């Protein structure tokens, strides 16, 4: 079970909105870079996000660039997971590789500030504030294994290989 508050946005939160190209020069300076997370969508995000919060989006979350700095700055700000109606493919893979769960579910029923409880194994999200119970799409086995190891780096450190679950 993971618990956290919802910080909610709309559709099409692009990787440019999550970390703008104008901060390109800070890419190797994580402490500075993370201060600009989601700045162009919501300048208040970094001041109000708390450890364990969920970023909740609508359709096509994370579209755009392959910049892994997008899920990385969310993680560096303590985000515990991402919930969205649909997620762009590279962002999805990147987030899981960093050990950040991404759950595809009907986020219309979640409101800003709601307390959420996620059961990763059971595939459910409970909105403790309004009582809504949502199921999320299955995370492919290969990704679940990566997620369970804490990300692709710890996974490869452990196995020194990449293999499909048999």
| Residues near other proteins, by CB under 8 A | 12, 14, 16-17, 20-22, 24-29, 40, 59-60, 63-69, 71-72, 86, 88-90, 93-94, 97-98, 140-142, 151-153, 156-157, 161-164
Taking the complex as a whole, the smallest distance from the CB of residue 139 to other proteins amounts, in Å, to 12
| Contact yes or no for 142/165 (Cβ under 8 A) | yes
Distance, CA of 35 to chain centre? 17
Q: Which is nearer to other proteins, 118 or 146 (CB)?
A: 146
Query: CA-CA distances (angstroms) from residue 131 to 37, 114, 117, 126, 128?
Result: 30, 10, 11, 7, 5
Taking the complex as a whole, the smallest distance from the CB of residue 129 to other proteins amounts, in Å, to 28
Taking the complex as a whole, the smallest distance from the CB of residue 54 to other proteins amounts, in Å, to 21
Structure-block tokens of residue 124:
């459910």
| Contact yes or no for 99/147 (Cβ under 8 A) | yes
Taking the complex as a whole, the smallest distance from the CB of residue 29 to other proteins amounts, in Å, to 7
What span, in angstroms and rounded, lies between the C-alpha atoms of 5 and 52?
7
């Amino acid at each position: 079970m993971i618990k956290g508050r919802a910080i909610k946005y709309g559709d099409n939160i692009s990787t440019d909105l999550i970390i703008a190209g104008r901060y390109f020069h800070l890419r190797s300076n994580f402490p500075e870079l993370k201060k600009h997370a989601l700045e162009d969508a919501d300048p208040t995000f970094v001041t109000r996000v708390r450890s364990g919060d969920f970023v909740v989006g609508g359709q096509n979350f994370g579209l755009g660039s392959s910049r892994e700095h997008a899920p990385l700055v969310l993680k560096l700000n303590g985000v515990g997971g991402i919930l969205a109606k649909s997620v762009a493919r590279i962002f999805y893979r990147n987030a899981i590789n960093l050990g950040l769960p991404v759950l595809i579910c009907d986020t219309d029923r979640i409101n800003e500030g709601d307390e959420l409880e996620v059961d990763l194994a059971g595939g459910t999200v409970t909105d403790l504030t309004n009582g809504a119970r949502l199921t999320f799409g299955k995370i492919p086995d290969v990704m679940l294994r990566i997620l369970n190891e804490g990300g692709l780096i710890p996974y490869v450190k452990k196995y020194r290989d990449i293999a499909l679950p048999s």
